[in-house]
């Protein structure tokens, strides 16, 4: 029996993987552990190693093919093994495709009423090589679900009924209420443009765009957001930073950015107001021990949020070095899954683009995100009412009201503002 | 096993009409009633007279009904079975006991070529209402030639009915039903069950052939079991319940004809199927049940692969530990079902 090479599950919510590049060719000799191919998941590129030694044959997944978890990618034959097409190689995918096409048309003709108008277009195109139980397939057929979107929990990614139900419960609103609205709005954009003769080019949606779309739609439509604005006078902070950077520069070290200091201030504020460092978990709230701070980094084609873990235990220099490393690797697509998951709070900074302030969408399951705008020089009254010029940074905190009430969010912001306005406090350890 | 006496059919009897007896006693009671009620009934078999039968099933019936009706036959299964088949074809209601079901092979010509086919080949002008009893199964240390479960051999032959009662209640009721059947009925009785006890109605009653019974209702998995495996499956189901797995246990009772609807309805409900039988797993009743489900609409309700737990592909060993290891035990059922329900298979 040749060893199957399957699409591995390398990411918690990974449903499919895209073959990015093959490192070996059909017929090549491989040693167990050799890099076979790279896969592209929602957010990262990973190398897949050979599960056995031998020769590589029947590569059924070519570059850019999207393969469900557990789907066959190729086979490795041991040295003394005769190379014959295993089930699932070559001819099999074709016939299975034909089968699913037949099944689909049967469904359409037998029970047209069970298929909503939009269902057939999204119907199981990719189901040909998905492992699913007959019951899971049946439910998917009746509900018009693309099994390619369902995560299989069984052996080798097999989808069972429970997986379909989890999928259904995770998108109840989308599938039954907003999906028609959504799809009609996308249909409208296109049909309106077509009707009016507006010219456009169509841009295919990649995994990252699809993930951003679904996560943020879910967040904005299910998490009750509210927003708190506060202005921080950062003259002292800027002066403090200059002092530190002079020293750092003299020592040949990397200079601190304002953002590094904002991360430090956020971490200390989360440590001081731990109730805000929490997640809504349906029937309970999870209050985290560590301030794991997600830092939004714009990258080609989207954005990603690498996480500075246990930021409350790290000084500004350590944070600075870590963010520099994470952001650099984020831009080159080299982050591992554990590096962009597990955040408890996010910071998004658009100040460098001249944005004064904005409201950010919470990054679930986190409960707060801090939107940082551009620092501006403004006249403010001094204690005698005379105008003085101050550097004001506007920040906006988005809160999940299920976890963070207005007063709690305000308390956190107050703490944060106090740290920025008295920056020497940033050097203290959390109480 | 007492709790199993409260079966669907048992509920029609009042407590005062029931009496506790062993499986062997229940069969003897049925034989006694049949001999008393119907003068066409005769018992035949090796050592069933004054010796009372190898497993003491016929007991003292010879003293009550006489040697003309409780007949010791010579040590020739082919000869004895031939006489029984001929007697049935010509108007009697013989009940033939094999000393061990293993010896059925000696009488295959009479069972499979004569009894099973006579009605068909003679255009329906003759029927063969013979009943044959086969003490079967392992667990007695009787080694490879006296411990087999050969019911699937006979169930492969059209024209025969093959039943495997699992309780004293069914042993009596199905034997009496077999006597009323116009065609040959083969009864496989597990030797280990002979001493098991249960509540049995007094007097005459029948339990239908071809009807399975849900011994325990459940929602997570359907266990289709036969004979002694019904009891092992029920014990396993109790353990499974403790870990939150709800197993439905079907006592198949008849393996030819199979009660399709009871099995399919259960699989549609639970979405998982496990077949448990003592006979060699390969080409056994579990294969038939599995295929039946896979060929039916219930296929679309399966949420896990089908699992068969049957005997190992080996003659039954003499060594007691190996003898146990060769057939499914309660732990095997618990482990198999757990893996299936947890999605590890």
Residue B27: band (very low, low, confident or very high) from pLDDT cuts 50, 70, 90: very high
Helix (H, G, I), strand (E, B) or coil at A99: helix
Report how far residue A123's alpha carbon sits from residue A140's, in angstroms, rounded to the nearest whole number. Answer: 9
Q: Return the ∠ at Cα B84 (arms to B83 and B87), rounded to 5°.
A: 85
Question: Between the CA atoms of A24, A29, A35 and A40, what dihedral angle is there, to the nearest 10 degrees?
Answer: 40
Mutate to test the interface with A, among B270, B339, B343, B345 (most CBs of A within 10 A): B343
B121, B58, B45, B49: which is closest to B89 by C-alpha? B121
pLDDT at A59 over 80: yes
When scoring B267, B272, B303, B340 by the number of chain A Cβ atoms within 10 A, the one with the most, hence best to mutate, is B303
CA distances from B17 to B2, B8, B13, B33, B196 (A): 16, 16, 6, 15, 20
Instruction: Say what the pLDDT of residue A171 is.
Output: 61
Contact residues on chain B for A133, CB-CB shorter than 8 A: 271, 302-304
Q: How many CB pairs under 8 A join A and B?
A: 32
Question: How far apart are alpha carbons A322 and B274 in whole angstroms?
Answer: 54
> Based on the domain organization, do B184 and B84 belong to the same domain?
yes
- Supply the pLDDT for residue A236: 95
Task: Tell if the CB–CB gap between B301 and A134 is shorter than 8 Å.
Answer: yes
Instruction: Give the number of other CB atoms < 10 A from CB of residue A359.
Output: 13
CB contact under 8 Å between A133 and B299, yes or no, is: no
At A116 the pLDDT is: 36
Q: Which range has the worst mean pLDDT, A36-50, A81-95, A324-338, B149-163?
A: A81-95
* Range(s) within chain A of domains with CATH label 3.30.559.10: 224-427
Across the interface, of A137, A155, A161, the residue whose CB is closest to B271 is A161
- In chain A, CATH 2.40.50.100 sits at 3-89
Strand order across the beta sheet in which A368-381 lies: A225-233, A387-400, A368-381, A345-349, A293-295, A307-308
Q: Are residues B220 and B124 in the same domain?
A: no
Confidence of residue B1 (pLDDT cuts 50, 70, 90): very low
Q: How many Å apart are CA B81 and CA B130, to the nearest integer?
A: 9
> How close does chain B come to A100, measured CA to CA in Å?
15
Range(s) of chain A covered by CATH 4.10.320.10: 106-170
Say yes or no for a CB contact (<8 Å) between B300 and A135: yes
Domain boundary among B152, B169, B201: B201
Query: At what angle are helices A258-272 and A316-331 packed, to 10 degrees?
Result: 110
Least Cα separation, residue B164 to chain A (angstroms): 32
Q: Which residues of A touch B300 (CB under 8 A)?
A: 134-135, 137-138
Structure tokens given for B206: 């029948």
| Stated length of chain B | 345
The verdict on whether B67 is a catalytic residue reads no
For B79, list phi and psi in degrees, rounded to 5. -65, -50
Paired sense of beta strands A285-287 and A302-304, if any = unpaired
Q: Which residues of A touch B345 (CB under 8 A)?
A: 155
Q: What is the pLDDT of residues A357-416, one digit of tens each?
A: 999 999 989 999 999 999 999 999 988 999 999 999 999 999 999 999 999 999 999 999
Name the DSSP class of B275.
E
CATH of the domain at B327: 3.40.50.920
Separation CA B125–CA B127 (nearest Å): 7
Q: Which residue has the higher pLDDT, A363 or A96?
A: A363
Residue B6 in domain: no
Cα(A242)–Cα(B87) distance, rounded to whole angstroms? 115
* B343:A161 CB<8 A: no
pLDDT of residue A14: 73
Question: Which residue shows structure tokens 């035990």?
Answer: B329
pLDDT (mean) for B128-144 = 97
CA–CA separation, A323 vs B121, rounded Å? 90
- Are B230 and B158 within one domain? no
Does the beta-carbon distance from B300 to A155 stay under 8 Å? no
Q: Is the peptide bond before B257 cis (omega within 30 degrees of 0)?
A: yes
Fold held by A224-427: Chloramphenicol Acetyltransferase (3.30.559)
Residues of chain A with Cβ-Cβ distance to B342 below 8 Å are none
User: Per-residue pLDDT tens for B204-249?
Assistant: 999 999 999 999 999 999 999 999 999 999 999 999 999 999 999 9
Last residue of a domain, one of B152, B172, B201: B201
What pLDDT score does A42 carry? 67
Spell out which residues of chain A touch residue B271, defining contact as CB-CB under 8 Å: 133, 135, 161
In a shared domain, residues B45 and B183:
yes
State the fold for domain A106-170: Dihydrolipoamide Transferase (4.10.320)
Q: What residue in B sits closest to A158 (Cα-Cα)? A: B343
| A303-317, A331-345, A381-395, B116-130: the lowest-pLDDT one | A331-345
- Distance, CA of A105 to CA of A402 (rounded, Å): 45
- What integer is the mean pLDDT of A117-127? 38
Question: In this structure, are B232 and B108 located in the same domain?
Answer: no
Report the domain count for chain B.
2
A165 in B contact zone (CB under 8 Å): no
Point out the least confidently predicted range of A8-22, A321-335, B66-80, B164-178. A8-22
Catalytic annotation, pick one of B25, B97, B146, B189:
B146
Domain that holds residue B165: 21-201
Residues A62-88, mean pLDDT to the nearest whole number: 81
Specify the CATH number for the domain of residue B197.
3.40.50.970
Q: B274 with B303: CB under 8 angstroms?
A: no
Interface of A with B in 237-296 (CB under 8 A): none
- Across residues B95-109, what is the average pLDDT? 97
Higher pLDDT, A27 or B218: B218
What residues in B contact A153, CB-CB < 8 Å?
Answer: 343
Average pLDDT on B146-150 reads 97
Residues of chain B contacting residue A158, judged by C-beta atoms under 8 Å apart = 343
Confidence (pLDDT) at A114: 36
Coil, helix or strand for B300?
helix
- Mean pLDDT of all residues in chain B? 95
CATH of the domain spanning A3-89, picked from 3.90.1150.10, 3.90.950.10, 2.40.50.100, 1.10.3080.10 = 2.40.50.100
Q: Report CB contact under 8 Å: B304, A133.
A: yes
User: Contact A371/A396 with Cβ under 8 angstroms?
Assistant: yes
Instruction: Calculate the CA dihedral of residues A203, A205, A206, A209 and round it to 10 degrees.
Output: 120
Q: Which of B176, B201, B226 is the last residue of a domain?
A: B201
Please say whether the dihedral angle defined by the alpha carbons of residues A174, A178, A180 and A186, taken in this order, is positive or negative: negative
Interface of A with B in 121-150 (CB under 8 A): 133-138
Position A151 pLDDT exceeds 90: no
Which residues on neighbouring strands pair with residue A393, listed in sequence order? A232, A375
Q: Which residue of A has its CA nearest to B297?
A: A134
Q: Work out the minimum CA distance from A157 to partner chain B, whole angstroms.
A: 10
Q: Do A134 and B345 touch (CB under 8 A)?
A: no
Is residue A89 predicted with pLDDT exceeding 80? no
- Residue A153 contacts B, CB cutoff 8 Å: yes
| DSSP single-letter state for residue B71 | E
> Is the CB of residue A110 less than 8 Å away from at least one CB of chain B?
no
Q: How far is A179 from chain B (nearest CA, A)?
A: 27
Cβ of B343 and A160 within 8 Å?
A: yes
The mean predicted confidence, pLDDT, of chain A is: 82
Are the Cβ atoms of A160 and B303 closer than 8 angstroms?
Answer: yes
Phi, psi (rounded to 5 degrees) for B124:
85, 5
The enclosing H or E element of B338 equals helix B330-341
**C-alpha A391, offset from chain centre:** 34
Q: Which residue in A70, A106, A135 has the most chain B C-beta atoms within 10 A of its own C-beta, making it the best mutation to test that interface?
A: A135
> Which pLDDT belongs to residue A218?
87
Tell me how far apart the alpha carbons of residues B263 and B36 are, in angstroms, rounded to a whole number. Answer: 37
Report CA dihedral (A61, A67, A70, A73) to the nearest 10 degrees: 10
On whether both B28 and B170 belong to a single domain, the answer is yes
Contact B343/A158, CB-based, under 8 Å? yes
pLDDT of A121 > 70? The answer is: no
pLDDT reported for residue B13: 65
Judged by CB atoms closer than 8 Å, whether chains meet at B301 and A158 is answered as no
- Give me the pLDDT at residue A102, please: 38
pLDDT on residue A176: 34
Are B245 and B324 in the same domain?
Answer: yes
Q: Are residues B276 and B330 in the same domain?
A: yes
Of A138, A153, A162, the CB nearest to B300: A138
Q: How far is residue B173's CA from residue B198's CA, in Å, rounded to a whole number?
A: 13
- Whole-angstrom distance, CA of residue B142 vs CA of residue B100: 10
Same domain, B39 and B187: yes
Do residue A161 and residue B344 have CB atoms under 8 angstroms apart? no
What integer is the mean pLDDT of A42-48?
76
- Would you call B295 a catalytic residue per the annotation? no
- Compute the C-alpha angle B121/B112/B165, nearest 5°: 120
Q: Do B345 and A155 touch (CB under 8 A)?
A: yes
Please give the helix or strand (H or E) that residue B119 lies within, else none.
helix B118-121
Q: Do A155 and B301 touch (CB under 8 A)?
A: no
Residues A190-234 pLDDT 10s: 888 888 889 998 887 777 787 888 888 889 989 999 999 999 999
Q: Report the share of chain A in percent with pLDDT over 90.
A: 41
**Residues B33, B178: one domain?**
yes
- What is the tens place of the pLDDT at every residue in A225-283? 999 999 999 999 999 999 999 999 999 999 999 999 999 999 999 999 999 999 998 88
Are B186 and B241 found together in one domain?
A: no
Residue B305: Cβ-neighbour burial (10 angstroms; 0-12, 13-18, 19+): middle
Task: Give the pLDDT confidence score for residue A83 in this predicted structure.
Answer: 80
Element housing B228 (H / E): helix B228-242
Banded pLDDT at A20 (limits 50, 70, 90): confident
According to DSSP, the residues that pair with A37 across neighbouring strands are A22, A48
Report chain B residues whose CB lies below 8 A from the CB of A103.
none
Residues B227 and B188 in one domain: no
B chain contacts of residue A160, beta-carbon cutoff 8 Å: 303-304, 343
């Amino acid at each position: 029996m040749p060893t199957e090479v399957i699409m591995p599950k390398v990411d918690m919510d990974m449903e499919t993987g895209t073959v990015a590049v093959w490192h070996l060719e059909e017929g090549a000799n491989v040693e167990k552990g050799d890099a076979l191919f790279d896969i592209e998941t929602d957010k990262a590129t990973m190398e897949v190693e050979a599960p056995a030694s031998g020769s590589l044959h029947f590569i059924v997944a070519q570059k850019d093919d999207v393969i469900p978890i557990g789907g066959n990618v190729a086979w490795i034959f041991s040295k003394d093994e005769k190379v014959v097409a295993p089930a699932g190689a070559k001819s099999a995918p074709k016939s299975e495709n034909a089968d699913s096409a037949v099944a689909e048309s049967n469904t359409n003709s037998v029970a047209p009423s069970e298929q909503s108008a939009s269902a057939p277009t999204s119907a199981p195109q990719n189901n040909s090589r998905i492992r699913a139980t007959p019951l899971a397939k049946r439910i998917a057929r009746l509900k018009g679900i693309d099994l390619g979107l369902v995560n299989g929990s069984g052996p080798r990614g097999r989808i069972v009924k429970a997986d379909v139900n989890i999928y259904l419960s995770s998108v109840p609103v989308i599938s039954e209420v907003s999906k028609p609205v959504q799809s009609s709005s996308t249909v409208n954009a296109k049909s309106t443009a077509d009707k009016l003769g507006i010219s456009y080019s169509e841009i295919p949606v990649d995994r990252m765009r699809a993930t951003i779309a679904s996560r943020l739609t879910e967040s904005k439509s299910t998490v009750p957001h509210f927003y708190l604005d506060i202005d921080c006078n950062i003259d002292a902070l800027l002066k403090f930073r200059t002092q530190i950077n002079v020293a750092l520069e003299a020592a040949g070290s990397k200079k601190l950015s304002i953002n590094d200091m904002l991360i430090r201030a956020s971490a200390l504020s989360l440590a001081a107001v731990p109730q805000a460092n929490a997640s809504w978990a349906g029937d309970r709230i999870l209050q985290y021990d560590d301030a794991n701070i997600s830092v939004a980094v714009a990258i080609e084609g989207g954005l990603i949020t690498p996480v500075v873990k246990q930021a409350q235990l790290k000084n500004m220099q350590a944070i600075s070095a870590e963010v520099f490393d994470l952001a650099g690797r984020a831009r080159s697509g080299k982050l591992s899954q554990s590096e962009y998951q597990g955040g408890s709070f996010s910071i998004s900074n658009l100040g460098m683009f001249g944005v004064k302030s904005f409201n950010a969408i919470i990054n679930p399951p986190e409960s707060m995100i801090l939107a940082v705008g551009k620092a501006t020089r403004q006249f403010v009254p001094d204690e005698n009412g005379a105008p003085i010029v101050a550097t004001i940074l506007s920040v906006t905190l988005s809160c999940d009201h299920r976890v963070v009430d207005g007063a709690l969010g305000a308390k956190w912001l107050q703490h944060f503002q106090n740290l920025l306005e008295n920056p020497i406090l940033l050097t203290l350890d959390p109480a | 096993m007492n709790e199993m006496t409260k079966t669907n059919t048992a509920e029609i009897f009042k407590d005062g009409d029931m009496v506790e007896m062993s499986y062997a006693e229940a069969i003897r009671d049925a034989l006694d009633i049949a001999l008393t009620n119907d003068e066409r009934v005769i018992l035949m078999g090796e050592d069933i007279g004054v010796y009372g039968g190898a497993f003491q099933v016929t007991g003292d019936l010879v003293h009550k009904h006489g040697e003309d009706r409780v007949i010791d036959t010579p040590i020739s299964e082919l000869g004895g079975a031939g006489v029984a088949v001929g007697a049935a074809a010509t108007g009697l209601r013989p009940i033939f006991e094999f000393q061990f079901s293993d010896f059925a092979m000696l009488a295959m010509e009479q069972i499979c070529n004569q009894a099973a086919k006579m009605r068909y080949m003679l255009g329906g002008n003759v029927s063969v209402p013979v009943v044959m009893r086969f003490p079967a199964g392992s667990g007695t240390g009787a080694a490879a030639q006296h411990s087999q479960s050969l019911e699937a051999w006979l169930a492969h032959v059209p024209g025969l009915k093959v039943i495997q009662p699992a309780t004293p209640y069914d042993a009596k009721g199905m034997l009496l039903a077999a006597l009323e059947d116009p065609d040959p009925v083969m009864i496989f009785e597990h030797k280990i069950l002979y001493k098991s006890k249960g509540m049995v109605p007094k007097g005459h009653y029948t339990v239908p052939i071809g009807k399975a019974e849900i011994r325990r209702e459940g929602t997570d998995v359907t266990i289709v079991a036969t004979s002694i495996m019904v009891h092992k499956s029920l014990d396993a189901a109790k353990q499974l319940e403790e870990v939150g797995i709800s197993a439905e246990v079907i006592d198949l009772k008849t393996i030819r004809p199979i009660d399709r609807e009871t099995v399919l309805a259960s699989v549609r409900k639970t979405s998982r199927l496990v077949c448990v039988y003592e006979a060699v797993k390969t080409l056994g009743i579990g294969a038939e049940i599995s295929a039946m489900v896979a060929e039916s609409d219930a296929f679309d309700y399966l949420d896990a692969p089908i699992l068969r737990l049957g005997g190992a592909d080996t003659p039954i060993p003499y060594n007691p530990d190996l003898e146990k290891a060769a057939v499914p035990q309660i732990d095997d059922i618990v482990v198999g079902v757990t893996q299936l329900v947890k999605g590890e298979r």
